[in-house]
Structures are given as structure tokens and as C-alpha cells.
Amino acid sequence: MTSYLIGLIGSGIGASLSPALHEREARFHGLHYAYRLIDLDVLGLAAEDVGDLVRTARRLGYDGLNITHPCKQTVIPHLDGLSEDAAILGAVNTVVFDGDRAIGHNTDWTGFAESFARDLPGAPTREVVQLGAGGAGVAVAHALLTLEAGRVTLVDAEPARAESLAAELARRFGPDRARAADRADQAGLATADGLVHATPTGMAHHPGLALPAELLHPGLWVADIVYLPLETELLQTARAIGCRTLDGGGMAMSQAAHSFRLFTGKEPDAARMLTHLTDLVTA
């Protein structure tokens, strides 16, 4: 039986469903597949230590790693190469060990694009406001503009990060396609078509809302990339006032499926993995 050893590096990941999601799918392919959590908080490490963790994982015989907050950008200098998508985005969520080389990939942007197209069909995207310009935010903004969003306005706790991402997106997609705002109440939400939340707020260990609830209105669709819990406070609040909503489950499943393919060369069953994820979240 073919064996794989995979890890997830990130902060506060003790509740992650990635191990069970990957291992369940692997069983359908007849693989011996072990997925381990490498939690910075448990180890007392910082994002800057990710390079040492990658090198240690390679020495210990890992076949690959998933990378999550806060390491999606800090991991890049410690890799031997990047896929085209990861190089364009400047963010990595998947590392594949190929002999002595560690190659970074990004499956976040395709994961969000697939989920959005599947679960919010026909949603208008003339003006979209996005909260968060970190590693996941980079991928989501790229996905929105690839899906022909007219313009994305970025808001981040670090305004310089939003400005930097907006400038890069404008260079890539056109000068009028991206801009930055200092705060959510300055981002034009009153006339926007949609809101995407791409920060850790709302996760099990970061509860709450990333913006004042009074900024939401029924004319918005609201998408959250948080998947644990699926029903974040943001989505509950938005749905209560009549917004169409998109939870983070579809993105989590799709990015995991793409990562599983990179790790194993096997074609995952996306519908089956979504069922896995739904069962795991419900449990």
C-alpha cells in the first residue's frame, strides 16, 4: 500500500478538519495516508520559524505540507521553487517535496473561484469589498478579478498591506480594478454588490465580527472563507437581514482536493470530499 505523510503548519490549528478530510478521501484510493498538525502555538514558535519547520519536515520524510495563517507568505523564502500561481500571488498554501526540492503551490484561489461559481451563481460583482489582504486575501482577490469582478476594494488591519495588494492587482488586472480603503465604513459598502471576509475573525478561536454589523444591508451578498464554524457570526448576521451568503466549506473542500491531487497524483472526488467536510463539521 502506498504511504504518504502530510502536515499542516499554522497557528491555532488544533480544531482543523484537514487531517480527517484528507485521510477519509485517501481511504477511498487505498492509500495509507497520515496527516499531522504542526501548530505554532503548541510549539511556542512564530511565523518566522516556518522555514525551520519545512526543513525539519523534509528531513523527517514528509511528502508535503499545507500552510495556513500566518505563514502563507513568510514560507516563500524557504522554498526551492514556486508554481506559476504561487509566484504570481506571492502566497503559498501547499508545499510538495520533490526529491531535495520544496515546491510551493497555491490552491486557495482556485478553491474560492470554484466555490463562488458553484454556490453563488449569478451574483453581481460590479463592486466587491474584501476584508483581509493577507495570504488568503491575496488568493481570494485574485479569484474575484479572474471571475470578472469589476472592482475590488480592500480593507486590512494593516492599511499598507491593503495598499500593496491593491497596487499589485491593478498592475495585473488593470488600473481601475482594485483599490484600498483604510476602514470598512470607507469602502463603499452601501453601494457594493458583495462583501468577502478573508481574515481569521469568526474562527473558533477568533470569534466576532470583522466590521460593524450596521454596515451590512440586504442588497449585499456575503462570502466568508472561514469554515470552522461554517455558520460564522458574520453569515448569521447577514442572513438575518436577507443577504445571500456563501460559507467557507466549499473553498476548504476545493483547495483540499487540489492539494490532495498535488500530494498523491490521484484524482479526488470533489462531491465526496464536500460530503466528508459537511459530516465532519456537523459532528
CB half-sphere exposure, 82, CA atoms < 13 A: 18
* Spatial CA neighbour of 91 closest among 81, 102, 80, 105: 105
Q: How far apart are CA 190 and CA 179, in angstroms?
A: 16
Q: How far apart are CA 106 and CA 88, in angstroms?
A: 10
Q: How far apart are CA 248 and CA 252, in angstroms?
A: 6
* Spatial CA neighbour of 32 closest among 41, 22, 42: 22
Query: What DSSP line would sit under 193-221, residue for residue?
Result: SEEEE-SSTTBTTB-S-SS-GGG--TT-E
Which residues does the annotation mark as catalytic? Answer: 72
Q: How far apart are CA 280 and CA 63, in angstroms?
A: 25
Write the CA distances from 113 to 99, 170, 265, integer angstroms. Answer: 31, 19, 22
Write the CA distances from 169 to 9, 92, 191, 222, 248, integer angstroms. Answer: 27, 17, 22, 21, 23
